[in-house]
Amino acid sequence: HWTAEEKAAITSVWQKVNLDQDGREALSRLLVVYPWTQRYFSSFGNLSNPTAIYGNAKVQAHGKKVLTAVGNAIQHLDNMKTTLSNLSEIHAQKLYVDPENFKRFGEVLVIVLAAKLGSAFTPKIQGTWEKFIAVLVDGLSQGYN
Ligand code: ZNH
């Protein structure tokens, strides 16, 4: 259900992503903008303010891990649901993450990409990314049924 143009829009943006920097930025923003998401990361140490969050090595490592998983999903656009089923079950049955938070993370990720790419992140490309995020969130939420 992806056109060649949509696939190109997703992969060309992803080529510009830096997993370390952008992963840190996305996860840090999630933790600052939606502070209740901090409850899942009680083992990460000090998350009491933005400076502590951005400087937290565990946040950096985990942001990279999450974006690496997003990149893996991008390599499997035509069967994202299967690709994400295992990860979804981990979040549902082991980590007990409220799936609403996947949407929040998706929104934050789009903002990080927009800030990074500026005018190159055209409305058309944003539209394709919103669709990608919706499919990603769907895939991550399947294990909650
Ligand atoms: Zn998550 C983990 C991915 C979202 C929370 N994650 C994880 C991992 C991965 C991921 C890959 C690892 C796993 C293993 O180890 O096996 N995530 C992901 C993605 C997304 C996400 C892709 C979207 C897009 N998460 C999320 C959210 C949250 C979370 C939103 C909340 C808020 N995760 C989590 C946790 C964990 C994880 C808590 C665990 C961590 C540690 O290290 O402990």
**DSSP one-letter string for 56-89:** -HHHHHHHHHHHHHHHHHHTTGGGHHHHHHHHHH
| ipTM (interface pTM) | 0.98
- Distance of alpha carbon 141 from alpha carbon 89, whole angstroms: 8
Nearest CA to ligand 1 atom 7: 66
Closest ligand 1 atom number to CA of residue 34: 32
What tens-digit pLDDT sequence spans the chain (145 residues)? Answer: 899 999 999 999 999 999 999 999 999 999 999 999 999 999 999 999 999 999 999 999 999 999 999 999 999 999 999 999 999 999 999 999 999 999 999 999 999 999 999 999 999 999 999 999 999 999 999 999 8
Q: Cα angle at 29 between 25 and 34, to 5 degrees?
A: 160
CB under 6 Å to ligand 1: residues? 37, 40-41, 43, 62, 65-66, 69-70, 87, 90-91, 95, 97, 101-102, 105, 136, 140
Nearest CA to ligand 1 atom 38: 40
Residues with Cβ within 8 Å of residue 83, at least 6 apart in sequence: 72, 73, 76, 139
Is pTM beyond 0.95? Reply is yes
CA distances (Å), origin 103, targets 8, 41, 130: 23, 18, 10
